[in-house]
């Protein structure tokens, strides 16, 4: 709950601000472009297509993304890394203003990354709560209107009770702090694809993680109608020999949502988590074949960008063709949010983008 020391006019302004971003991002057909990779991760992708990892090259690539013509048709928000929030286009227009011109809300990744969890079987915890209130206030002043915190749970490494609790508690404290700063929090409890577990084991672990997460969110008075959930889809581990089709993933995931997520939650914006570009779209489409209590949509990074960065490969002459791919991927996922994606008309590659031990 917002401090009583905050003037009533400010509190009312924050309530209005908390209502607008998620309303825009949960309009029919809309989702989120996740482009908040750390400098190291973005750099590894640049180097993978022969481009040097420099601040200028990261800026050039991200300018390509946010200036894609008509990006806002199917994208309601874009999650930025801290460096990106303060960058500008080549013509001097700030990235924040460029996104606003497209009708896209700027967001910001606020966690400080994963660290080894002491006395665990190789599990992780997410840091970043120290100084978060002050940072959130500065991000708001810079133009951010929503934020994201990613914590992960590993099935092969446990998961231990302490890892699940730390994940849930950290997400809840983050969400409470950022709502008080006027930012709409995206809560991301990711169940990693790493492992050979089947879909039933994923369902079991996800049930535990989501239950714990919403318990702590409620304990911290987080407003469900002013937050977004960014979960993993319930699917087999990447090394599982028994694969699932889109219908099965949709059935398990919707069963999970209906058993754990309060209906007033503003939206469910799935992460792709290493799923192929095509699978992530097909699974989302399958989940939207019947009405849901929430806006069930996407917040994809690799599943939107993988083919884009390969096409661009640092060449200014290929900006337009790379942007055309990004636009096509947003259209396809927007159609999937509406339950109208037709895979027979798709040009999207079905190759996996999974990376074992992926670090964001």
Q: Is 281 exposed, middle or buried (0-12, 13-18, 19+ CB in 10 A)?
A: buried
The C-alpha R_g of the chain, in whole angstroms, comes to 19
C-alpha to C-alpha distance for 210 and 286, rounded to whole angstroms: 22
Residue that is written with structure tokens 């890892």 in the block:
163
Of 40, 197, 32, 189, the C-alpha closest to 125 is: 189
- The SS3 assignment for 223 reads coil
Which token pair is 105? 């809300």
- The SS3 assignment for 118 reads coil
User: Known catalytic residues?
Assistant: 188, 230
C-alpha to C-alpha distance for 297 and 147, rounded to whole angstroms: 17
C-alpha to C-alpha distance for 284 and 29, rounded to whole angstroms: 12
Which token pair is 242? 């028994």
Q: What share of the chain is helix, strand, coil (3-state, %, to 5)?
A: 50, 15, 40
Which token pair is 54? 């420099």
Q: Yes or no: say if 216 and 207 are a contact pair by the CB < 8 Å rule.
A: no
Q: Is 282 exposed, middle or buried (0-12, 13-18, 19+ CB in 10 A)?
A: buried
C-alpha to C-alpha distance for 277 and 306, rounded to whole angstroms: 8
Within a 13 Å sphere around the CA of 138, how many CA atoms are in the beta-carbon half?
9
Q: At 352, phi and psi to the nearest 5? A: -70, 145
Q: Yes or no: say if 202 and 255 are a contact pair by the CB < 8 Å rule.
A: no
- The SS3 assignment for 8 reads helix
């Amino acid at each position: 709950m917002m401090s009583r020391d905050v003037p009533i006019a400010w509190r009312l302004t924050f309530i209005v601000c908390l209502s607008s971003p998620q309303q825009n991002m949960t309009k029919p057909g809309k989702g989120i472009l996740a482009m908040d990779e750390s400098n190291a991760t973005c750099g590894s992708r640049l180097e993978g297509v022969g481009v040097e990892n420099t601040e200028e090259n990261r800026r050039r690539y991200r300018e390509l993304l946010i200036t894609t013509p008509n990006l806002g048709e199917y994208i309601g928000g874009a999650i930025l890394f801290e460096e990106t929030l303060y960058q500008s286009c080549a013509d001097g227009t700030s990235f924040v203003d460029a996104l606003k011109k497209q009708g896209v809300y700027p967001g910001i990744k606020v966690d400080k990354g994963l660290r080894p969890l002491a006395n665990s079987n190789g599990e992780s915890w997410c840091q970043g709560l120290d100084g978060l209130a002050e940072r959130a206030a500065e991000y708001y002043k810079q133009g951010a209107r929503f934020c994201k915190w990613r914590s992960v749970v590993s099935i092969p490494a446990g998961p231990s009770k302490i890892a699940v609790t730390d994940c849930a508690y950290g997400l809840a404290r983050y969400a409470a702090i950022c709502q008080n700063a006027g930012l709409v929090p995206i809560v991301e409890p990711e169940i990693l694809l790493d492992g050979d577990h089947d879909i039933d084991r994923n369902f079991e672990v996800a049930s535990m993680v989501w239950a714990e997460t919403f318990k702590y969110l409620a304990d911290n008075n987080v407003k469900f109608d002013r937050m977004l959930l960014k979960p993993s889809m319930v699917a087999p581990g990447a090394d599982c020999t028994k694969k699932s089709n889109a219908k099965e993933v949709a059935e398990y995931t919707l069963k999970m949502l209906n058993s754990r997520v309060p209906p007033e939650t503003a939206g469910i914006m799935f992460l792709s988590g290493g799923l192929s570009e095509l699978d992530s779209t097909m699974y989302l489409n399958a989940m939207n074949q019947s009405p849901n209590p929430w806006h069930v949509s996407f917040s994809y990074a690799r599943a939107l960008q993988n083919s884009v960065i390969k096409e661009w490969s640092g060449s200014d002459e290929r900006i337009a063709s790379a942007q055309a791919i990004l636009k096509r991927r947003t259209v396809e996922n927007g159609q999937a949010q509406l339950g109208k994606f037709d895979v027979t008309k798709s040009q999207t590659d079905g190759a996996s983008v999974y990376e074992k031990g992926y670090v964001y």
